[in-house]
Amino acid sequence: MQEALRKLDITVISDVHLATLASKAKPLLNYLKSIQPQTLVLNGDIIDSWRFSRNYFPKSHLKVLRQILKMIEKGVQVVYITGNHDDVFRKFNHTKLGNFSIVNQLELTIDSKKTWIFHGDVFDHIIHHSPWLAKFGAAAYGFLTAFNKFLNRILRLFGKHDMILYKSMKERILKEKKVLTNFEKAIAHAALSKNIDMVICGHTHIPVDKTIITEQGRIKYINCGDWVEHCSAAEYADGKWNLRYFAPDEEEETESPTDELYIPDKKQMYRSILEEMKVASFF
């Protein structure tokens, strides 16, 4: 029996990095199929144009896109906020097609509080002052992901649990820091100068839910994490924001032509096109 969908006012996800080996598309698909939000905010780096290749875009990644389209068809407002890895879409800022829109930032007033949602790369000094270093880091990250997958295959042969190398290293560097990072300081300063009460961003891949206190004032700060390492999302329901973690389930689902997200292979697609055109097969 199918579980009832969780009703949410808003859900925010970021840093999915579809089209890369690191993307946890299957858990994300299961998460999207488990919720019924009024608004879905895709907070940047959803499709990774930096490492995009026509040779790698598996069915599980396509299914995520199709599920989002299904949600749009069912009346969910989907807002795509651009990030640095999908900055190719920034030229389409303020584009709106029905329930779907593309923006660089989103400002909302919720329960009389001003909430500011953006990806966050504009506050990352490395992106602006050393773009080559950012590109190099992305390439190194891709290599480490491939090596990590190879390592996990070996670990499974010996009955060991999977491990995520880059998650362990990054959390050791960032998550245990008690002092504010320059990234957080810059965001807090900008937000307080705009009289914002709450900020939601992504970019760092580290989920955080805290209050930042500075000489200017205090602000609620949520980083919604990613769908590469943490499988996390920021959710608003029942009058409050929560940072939610979704348990990954990498088991492959059995595909059926009756499944609304079923994706046929190339031969099946050609055959269906010919049947629709009512002509004989040439293949």
pLDDT score of 176: 47
**What is the token pair recorded at 85?**
């890895």
Identity of the amino acid at 137? G
Give the lowest-confidence range in 155-159, 172-176, 227-231: 172-176
Can you tell me the mean pLDDT for 3-31?
Answer: 93
Total-model pTM: 0.79
pLDDT at 151: 67
| Range from 140-144, 189-193, 272-276 carrying the lowest mean pLDDT | 140-144
Task: Give the least confident one: 18-22, 188-192, 201-205.
Answer: 18-22
CA-atom Rg of the chain in angstroms: 20
pLDDT in the model for residue 160: 75
For residue 249, the model assigns a pLDDT of: 62
Residue 220, pLDDT > 60, answer yes
**pLDDT, mean over the chain:** 83
φ, ψ of residue 79 to 5 degrees: the values are -110, 120
pLDDT digits (tens, 9 = 90+) for 56-78: 899 999 999 999 999 999 999 99
Give the whole-number percent of the chain exceeding pLDDT 90.
Answer: 58
> d(Cα 49, Cα 128) in Å, to the nearest integer?
18
Cα-Cα-Cα-Cα dihedral sign, residues 236, 237, 242, 245? negative
pLDDT at residue 181, as a whole number: 85
Which listed CATH number (3.30.70.260, 1.10.8.60, 3.60.21.10, 3.60.15.10) goes with 7-131+176-256? 3.60.21.10
- Residue 264 confidence (pLDDT) above 90: no
Q: pLDDT (tens digit, 9 = 90+) per residue, 193-213?
A: 999 999 999 999 999 999 999
* pLDDT value for 173: 47
